[in-house]
Chains A and B, each alone.
Chain A
Amino acid sequence: MTAPVQVSPQVARARGARQRGSAMADAVLLIIGACFLLPLLWLVFGSLDAAAGHGTRVPQQPVLDNFAAVLTPDLLFRPLWNSVLLSAGTGTVTLAAAVLAAYPLSRYRSRFNSPFMYGVLFGTCLPVTAIMVPVYGLFVQLQLLDSLPATVLFLAATSLPMAIWMTRNFMDAVPLALEEAAWMDGASRMAALRTIVLPLMRPGLGVVFIFVFIQAWGNFFVPFVLLLSEARQPAAVSIFSFFGQHGAVAYGQLAAFSILYSVPVLALYVIVGRGSGAALALSGAVRG
């Protein structure tokens, strides 16, 4: 038999205090967590309630009627498809421009690097909502209003500063030695970038793409101002007309639509959050 480990009274007291503290912390956290879930209750209950209003109540008989009602091409599929085009387009353009820009910034030493990176960082601080009025003016003059590609380019420009910053950090982590070996074998710099560097930073590129995609998917103000015709509007904007313009609001359908529209980004966040929650957190830095 081993002798019981002697615990000094001081340590025992500290442990007791820590356990009490832990129970308190659990309780306070659970209360705060419940408060954060409360506003979401309405979405869940309302979507399952055939006669939902803006009050929250447990549906007497949960039904999927609301989901069935919004599953039409005009209400759901076309806006969602527009959202996919907008977000995937923005992600692709942003990633391409960011990778190209990050390469020299990561691989060469120059007086250009530091001011450029600080300029980029300053760009992340711009309140994008503040430039929507001038952007509208610019789009009118360039006759780009209601153009999906132009909106994609604008969204790409707004997410580019953060994307360049992140991509360069990921690229810095790829050792130069691997590339040098490829140059020895006669590969050009761009070929080495494509065949050596990019495959190695695939997880990082995935994070950047998904991050930009989520931002574009959730953005309301930019397409609200720049895309005018219903046929081109993404779900974020069509959902708003659902809410405001059709007179009596079908709250149950609104809730169902909201859930269907949110699920893709929630899923993407879970995918990224598994591996690199911190990266996403810090890159979410400025969402204007």
Chain B
Amino acid sequence: MPATHRARQVARYLPVLPAILLLAVFLAGPVLWAFHASLTNAGLTGRNARNPQWVGLENYQRLLQDPVFPFSVGLTVVFVAGSAILGQNLLGLALAVLMRRARPAVAATVGTAVVAAWVLPEIVAAFAAYAFFSRDGTLNQLLGAMGQPGTDWLYAVPMVALVLANVWRGTAFSMLVYRAALGGVPAELSEAAHMDGAGPWQRLVFITLPVIRGSIATNLMLVTLQTLAVFTLVWVMTAGGPANASTTLPVLAYQEAFRFGDIGYGTAVAVVLLLLGAVFGVAYLRLLREQRP
């Protein structure tokens, strides 16, 4: 009786319904609405808020002509490459490798310090980073104590300050991933190489890294996705300034929509960000599928 079989099958899956509803209304809904709204001139207030007009691809054409947009894409690439792919990833790997050689008490203490920056609420972490890099903040005080001239980091080199701040904030994640991955590398492999006379660097490059390459790839994807979405840190530290010098894509989308009241245009920026996220998301899924067939 296939009909009753199917009915039973459907009934069994009824409990999934609340989750599907939530995801459909509050995640899939806004994503679809974003594609639609980016093709209109929806505004935050006024006539265009009540009655948005269909404008086709006009917002996207404006994006391509707007000098701020390519600049903002470039800043986002710098932010992701500098703070996630290089900074968090390499520092996290270095920390995990060092922790295996260091005394357990030292490793645990330093691990706590690194994780503390990551567990703090994002707004508190952003304030702390702001105070650290501000003109008379901790960094300049330290430089001054060493006889070095300080600079107004947040105005002179905002992207450098943001990259460093995000490395500080996010490295814990990579560190934890790599600590778990290194824990899974069979000790015999490394010992065998040691017996054959391989030095520590050679063992790291030729034995350890190839064994954990799956974790490396996964970590790279995840930190990229996380960093693409960073808003609060930038918003509190520089608010995208001075003069758009640190306007990454999430900040640009926010400013266009809420500061300039152009929801349609802001949404078009958001759609670009979503598509970027989707590309990395699909790549991530393929990676996972390869790892556990």
Q: CB-CB contacts of B228-272 with A at 8 A, as 1s and 0s?
A: 111110001000000000000110011001100001001101110
Residues of chain B with a CB closer than 8 A to A266's CB: 116, 119-120
In the bound assembly, the distance between CA atoms of A258 and B130 in angstroms comes to: 13
CB of B2 within 8 A of chain A? no
Partner of A137, one of B99, B128, B263: B263
25 A-B pairs, CB-CB below 8 angstroms?
Answer: A21-B200, A29-B99, A29-B107, A30-B106, A36-B113, A39-B132, A42-B137, A43-B124, A100-B16, A100-B19, A101-B15, A101-B18, A121-B288, A123-B23, A125-B225, A125-B278, A133-B267, A137-B37, A156-B22, A157-B25, A221-B232, A236-B123, A281-B177, A281-B180, A288-B226
Q: Of the 9-residue stretches A52-60, A63-71, A179-187, A201-209, which lies at the interface with chain B?
A: A52-60
| Inter-chain contact A243/B229, CB cutoff 8 Å | no
| Inter-chain contact A97/B18, CB cutoff 8 Å | yes
Q: With both chains docked as a complex, state the minimum distance between the C-beta of B6 and any C-beta of chain A, in angstroms.
A: 11
Most B C-beta atoms less than 10 A away, residue of A18, A125, A126, A258: A125
Residues of chain A with a CB closer than 8 A to B281's CB: 122, 125-126
List the A residue with the shortest CB-CB distance to B49. A140
B-side interface residues toward A, CB under 8 Å? Answer: 9, 12-13, 15-16, 18-20, 22-23, 25-27, 29-31, 33-34, 37, 42, 49, 91, 95, 98-99, 101-103, 106-107, 109-110, 113-124, 127-132, 134-139, 141-142, 168, 171, 173, 176-177, 180, 194, 200, 222, 225-226, 228-232, 236, 249-250, 253-254, 257-258, 263, 266-267, 269-271, 273-274, 276-278, 280-282, 284-285, 288
CB of A40 within 8 A of chain B? yes
Q: With both chains docked as a complex, state the minimum distance between the C-beta of A50 and any C-beta of chain B, in angstroms.
A: 17
Chain B at the A interface: SS class: helix
Most A C-beta atoms less than 10 A away, residue of B91, B120, B130: B120
| Inter-chain contact B121/A265, CB cutoff 8 Å | yes
| Inter-chain contact A134/B33, CB cutoff 8 Å | yes
Known: A26-B106, A33-B110, A220-B232. A42 touches B277 (CB 8 A): no
